[in-house]
A = this chain, B = another copy of it.
Amino acid sequence: MKQKPTLKVIAKELDVSVSTVSKALKDSKEIGAKTKERVKAFAKLYNYRPNNIALSLKNRKTKTIGVIIPEIVHHFFTTVISGIEKYANEQGYNVIVGLSNESFDKEVINLDMLANGSIDGFIISVAKETLAKEDFHHITETIDQGVPIVMFDRVVDEILCDKVIVDDVATSKKAVQQLISNGCKKIGIISTKDYVSVGRLRTRGYLEALNHNHIPKNDDLILKIDDKLNSNDNLEQLEAQIATFFKQNKQLDGIFAVNELYAITAMKVARKNGIQIPEQLQVIGFTDGVLSKHAYPPLTTISQHGFEMGEDCARLLIERLEKQDEEDETYQTVVVKTDLVLRETTKSKS
């Protein structure tokens, strides 16, 4: 193992000073042509690369951004990461990923580990446990220390920062409206507990759609899945809860699910009960991921455009980083548009 060459090593080897080497490598006009040549040749030969850490210390910025998400085994989050990565890399930034695993403590630890100078700013989607506890001190403290944060998807209204979201209410309303227009009479929703912002908002959209069509609200038709159940471990419990829901609501002919896993599982349960999709039951999911595309039958879903969300997050963050001196205290909330991707789990009954 050859040791990595540093300016100092090169300087000694060539019998010049460190600063000469530094300048030569930057093509400074202060340095004589042949010295430059010599230095550059030597540097190339030994594959010199400036030490990023030293630069970071000097410049007080690391050119890397930290992304903290609840789970990486989740198609939506990975598309967002792809988007972040793409934009960040284009701007010369690196991306460091931390997983909270939906746990408050791990979220705090991750933030702590990275906020100590390792990264210039965060992009985060808040863990369910954190939302449930409503304890956001780690986030506000980080912001107070001058480390900017961009929140996406699962955001916290009270915290002042840039945000990238989807118009959950309007989008859900649109989806449910589609079911109604298609002739569904008894539409159920499979959502999360209310502390998860997106679940709460999507439920609100569902209710607005019903209301708009003068359909009375029926609490039996609203299923709020217990916390953490969309982790891959307890699929059986998820299925059990949905099976019970089906049993309690016999004439269900439409389902709106707030994520694709819930939608897919509902379809599985329906199939076991001999219910035909879309003839007897129409289904729409949220988040257009691989699961939806490859489901049988292919699932009609709302596309959140995760990749674009990621790009927006990175853009917002990097823009703020690059003009950090200006102390801009006005925050943006970007609302990414959604699309209803019609596939085979819905169809007009007319």
Contacts and interface: CB of A to CB of B under 8 A. Distances in A.
Nearest to A144: B2
A177 to B, nearest CB: 27
B51 A117 contact: yes
Contact of A81 (B62, B85, B97, B296): B97
B52 A116 contact: yes
A176 B51 CA distance: 50
Contacts of A268: 294, 296
A303 interface: no
A130 B327 CA distance: 44
B64 A96 contact: yes
A25 interface: no
A310 B243 CA distance: 35
A55 to B, nearest CB: 9
Contacts of A3: 146
Interface in A18-64: 47, 49-54, 56-57, 62, 64
B47 A53 contact: no
Given A115-B49, A116-B51, A4 B96 contact: no
Interface stretch (A70-78, A165-173, A210-218, A244-252): A70-78
A241 interface: no
A114 B92 CA distance: 11
Contacts of A156: none
Interface string A106-148: 0001001111111000000000000000000000010011100
Nearest to A93: B113
B82 A146 contact: no
User: How many copies of this protein are present in the complex?
Assistant: 2
A325 to B, nearest CB: 11
A95 B94 contact: no
A226 to B, nearest CB: 20
Contact of A295 (B51, B95, B296): B296
Contact of A145 (B4, B97, B296): B4
A275 interface: no
Contacts of A145: 1-2, 4, 47
A240 B117 CA distance: 50
A302 interface: no
Given A56-B53, A112-B49, A144 B1 contact: yes
Contacts of A62: 53
Given A53-B53, A53-B57, A75-B290, 20 more contacts: A2-B145, A2-B146, A3-B146, A4-B117, A49-B115, A51-B57, A53-B117, A72-B81, A73-B78, A73-B290, A74-B78, A82-B99, A85-B97, A85-B98, A89-B109, A95-B96, A95-B98, A97-B97, A291-B291, A294-B295
27 contacts: A1-B146, A4-B145, A51-B57, A53-B56, A53-B57, A53-B62, A53-B118, A54-B117, A57-B57, A72-B82, A72-B85, A73-B82, A73-B290, A74-B78, A75-B290, A81-B97, A82-B99, A85-B99, A89-B109, A94-B96, A95-B96, A268-B296, A271-B296, A291-B291, A291-B294, A294-B295, A296-B296
Interface of A: 1-4, 47, 49-54, 56-57, 62, 64, 72-75, 78-79, 81-82, 85, 89, 94-99, 109, 112-118, 141, 144-146, 232, 235, 264, 268, 271, 290-291, 293-296, 327
